[in-house]
Structure 1
Amino acid sequence: MRRAATACLSLSLVVGGLLTGPVAYADEDFGNGKGGAKEEGGSDKTGIYAAATVRYSGAVAKNGGSGNVTSADVNWDPPACWYAPYLGAKDFKKKMSANIKDQMNTPGLGSGGSALGELKRHYEDDYGWTDTPGYKDYNVEKDGKGMFWAGFENPDEPDVLKRMSCSDIPFWVDNGEPAPPQYEEAITPEMLAALAYQHMELPGTKVTLAPEAVTKVNLPTWAWLDKAVFDDVKATAEIDVPGFNLQATTTATPKSLTLDPGTKDATTIPANGQCPIADGKIGEPYAKGKSKETPPCGILYRRSSGGDTFPLKASLTWEISWQGTGQADAVGMPNGTIEAVQDITVEEIQSINR
């Protein structure tokens, strides 16, 4: 344990009330302006940045985004929270000492007063615990030579308890040095890659069909995707403050299209329903004179939709990898998918001249 259990709990609760807002949000140029508020961090006269946050760039296909990519691995999750640079020594002293003073003057503070006193001793009087050294005057003599790190929440994590689990009190890290090993959630390039993955917006997968929307029983329906879909999509997540820079770029490359006809009474072409990319395209556009040919990508419905429709689901699979600080070669990540559903009417006509 880094400190006594009671001290750990009480100080975490106190710090949670004193330090407001160390939460990373997407930069406004991320996701075609759909991201959160822009947070670049402020700076004082020493140039030490305050509230350094993760910044994003790229991430949207040039022909527009459709939605966030979903991991094909149900067990894959981006980080719920992380520890990262927060404030320089002088900024941290200014914020923390003022907040402690205000809280100490709160009537009826009870046991919270003891925790505040212990916190004050920790940062002012070199009072520490096992594996958690104290600080003298908030480390101001080292201002510009490092930063205090704090817990940041992932605002897109739905589990509140997971999001708040990086609750250790702020700790000092010298410039150019890694966070102490006990902080397993300290930010890494791989974590940044996962955050970029989580926010990556990919183009839609609405396929072009022939016949379009209304097809016939036992008549092959041709399916294909526009070539504009097949550009790689890149997203970069970065933390860049004096003495600390970490970044990772996640790249998604389209791999294959999977068709689900929306009924068991249908045959996909190919049989497994997966239409691979060939010559920079998926499938082949229907053209006059091809009515008796079998499409490279399509569906053959065996019964009518009975005046209703079948929900044709098209899932585009993207192969995803990342490369970042200290990473010489690209590293694979779970494939991503993005889906779209189209309503298809199937009529009871055996053949038709096209």
Structure 2
Amino acid sequence: MATGATSTLAHAGDRTPGGTAGSAKGGRQGKTITVETSIRTSTNGDARTARTGKLSSADGNWTPPACWYEPAFSPKEIEKTVKGLRSFGDGIPFMDGIGEFLGDFFDSYYKDGHPYKDYNLDKQGEGMFWTKVVNPNRKDDPEAMKCDKPPFWVDNNDTPKEPLAVNPRILAEYAYDELPIPETEITMAPEGETKVNLPTWVWLDKAKFKEVSVTASLPDTNMWAKTTAKPVSLKINPGTRDATTYPGSGECAIVDGRIGEPYGKGKSKKTPPCGVKYLRSSGDGSYKLNATVTWEVSWTSSTGEGADLPKGEFGGDQNVTVEEIQSINR
């Protein structure tokens, strides 16, 4: 995944890493040092003030990255971090001595010339040590263990050879995880309670379902990526096989910016463009109707790179009570 885009990293110099973990408090996983991401995100669209959720990839073989590497430590900061590790485990039963072990290991790596000498202090301002970052949305993902390298040095304006070094595509995929997707609250007529063989109209609020985008950028660089999600269709699952959907596929496309059509006067004998007809009563309970919106996702970036990402899905359930039509005998 490494691209020439990483060479857009400007002189990061002595900047303090983002988050609180960019100091001696940096997390430790085995022989790696983990920090909180410095990536910053901004959202465009009305979804920021609405109730929102996160997209699930429609491609079961793809998820946003669970980890990557970012510039995190100047030579002075890596020296301070390693020294801070020596106090790790002090006073904790069965943990005494672990800090010294870690300190010795990292000193050998960064101080004694294997492969670095004196923490690269003579290169202060000429580059940064890059280290592991775990996607905060995927902390429990086993894929987060793929980033198992200790912090490594990258000169200013050089492109890391490491495939998981942060680049515009990784920023775009991280932004995918940050997209605030509005909750799928469909409007139904009749609402919540309907009759057997009576078509129920379904539609979505046109004002809520617009494009939404998130821009992810790396501070102190000119690297950014913008990921945009566009709603394209609504999939209806009635919650029972004893139902007919409109259209027959159960997938309602967006037409003129709207999903479905509001029910109104004079439409009682028309077939809804988006809806459902239940063929059997729900008895003493209700059917759980699921409505899921599919979103097309794409990205652009500071380098001119861009592409489509896997479509995303986000939906919700609503209870629908279905009653028999009562006849009156005279």
1:139 corresponding residue in structure 2: 120
How far 1:20 moved relative to its partner?
A: 6.3
Q: CA deviation at 1:290?
A: 1.0
Find 1:335's aligned residue among 290, 293, 311: 311
Residue 216 of structure 2 is matched in structure 1 by 237
Q: Which residue of 2 aligns with 1:320?
A: 297
Distance 2:265 2:209 in 1: 26
Match of residue 199 from structure 2: 220
Tell me the SS of whatever aligns to 2:137: coil
Helix, strand or coil: the match of 1:230? coil
* 1:111–1:210 Cα change, 3 Å: closer
Q: CA deviation at 1:164?
A: 3.6
Q: CA contact under 8 A between 1:147 and 1:173: conserved in structure 2? A: yes
How far the C-alpha of 1:76 sits from its partner, in A, is 1.0
State the Cα distance separating 1:266 from its structure 2 match.
Answer: 0.8
- State the distance in 2 between where 1:261 and 1:108 align: 59
Question: Which blocks of at least 5 consecutive residues in structure 1 are unaligned?
Answer: 1-13, 25-52, 128-133
How well do the aligned residues superpose, as a CA RMSD in angstroms?
2.8
Please tell me whether residue 269 in structure 1 is matched to residue 243 in structure 2: no
C-alpha change, 1:347 and 1:119, in structure 2 (3 Å) is: closer
Higher relative contact order (CA 8 A, sep 6+): 2
> What is the distance in 1 between the residues matched to 2:72 and 2:251?
47
1:195 deviation in Å? Answer: 1.3
**Relative to 1, partners in 2 of residues 1:303 and 1:198: Cα closer, same or farther, differing over 3 Å?**
same
* TM-score (structure 1 length as normaliser): 0.76
- Asked whether the 8 Å contact 2:131–2:152 carries over to 1, the reply is yes
CA distance in 2, matches of 1:112, 1:189: 38
Q: Give the deviation of 1:148 after TM superposition.
A: 0.6
> How many residues get paired?
296
Name the residue aligned to 1:70: 56
Cα deviation for residue 125 of structure 1 reads 3.5
Could you tell me how far 1:112 is from its partner in structure 2?
6.8
Provide the TM-score with structure 2 as the length reference: 0.81
Matching residue of 1:86: 72
Contact 1:218 1:350 (C-alpha < 8 Å) held by counterparts: no
Shift in CA distance, 101/197, structure 1 to aligned 2, threshold 3 Å: closer
Residues 28-67 of structure 1, C-alpha deviation per residue, up to 9 Å, x if partnerless?
Answer: xxxxxxxxxxxxxxxxxxxxxxxxx122221671551321
Aligned to 1:99: 84
**Percent of pairs identical after alignment?**
44
Q: Secondary structure at the match of 1:252?
A: strand
Cα distance change of structure 1 residues 233 and 81 upon mapping to structure 2, 3 Å threshold: same
Match of 1:204 among 183, 195, 199: 183
Instruction: Give the aligned residue type for 1:54.
Output: I
One-letter amino acid matched to 2:63: D
Q: Residues 189 and 309 of structure 1: is their aligned pair in 2 closer, same or farther, counting only changes over 3 Å? A: same
Q: Answer whether contact 1:80 1:154 (CA < 8 A) is retained.
A: yes
The structure-2 alpha-carbon separation of the partners of 1:161 and 1:253, relative to structure 1 and needing over 3 Å to count, comes to closer
- What are the Cα deviations for residues 224-269 of structure 1, in whole angstroms up to 9, with x where unaligned? 111112211111222123xx44321110001001111111111100
1:194 Cα deviation after fit: 1.4
Whether the 8 Å contact between 1:63 and 1:228 is mirrored in structure 2 is: no
Change (3 A) 1:215 1:123: same
2:255 aligned to which of 256, 275, 278: 278
Aligned 1:281-296 pairs, distance under 5 A: 281-296=258-273
Match of 2:23 in 1: none
Q: Does residue 54 in structure 1 map to residue 51 in structure 2?
A: no
Distance 1:87 1:320, change over 3 A: same
Stretches of structure 2 that go unaligned for 5 or more consecutive residues are 1-26
Q: How far apart are 1:350 and its partner, in Å?
A: 7.6
The CA distance in 2 between the partners of 1:306 and 1:15, in whole Å, is 56
| Alpha-carbon distance in 1 for matches of 2:30, 2:324 | 67
Q: Write out per-residue CA displacement over residues 69-123 of structure 1, whole angstroms, 9 at most, x where no aligned residue.
A: 1111111112121111111122222332x236657x999749974x754532432
How many Å separate the matches in 1 of 2:58 and 2:141?
Answer: 24
Distance 1:16 1:307 in 2: 53
Q: Tell me how far apart the structure 1 counterparts of residues 96 and 191 of structure 2 sit (CA, whole Å).
A: 71
Q: CA deviation at 1:203?
A: 0.7
Contact 2:33 2:132 in 1 (8 A): no
Q: Quick one: structure 1 residues 16 and 141, their matched pair in 2 at CA, closer, same or farther if it must change by over 3 Å? A: same
Moved more, 140-149 or 59-68: 59-68
SS in 1 for 2:177: helix
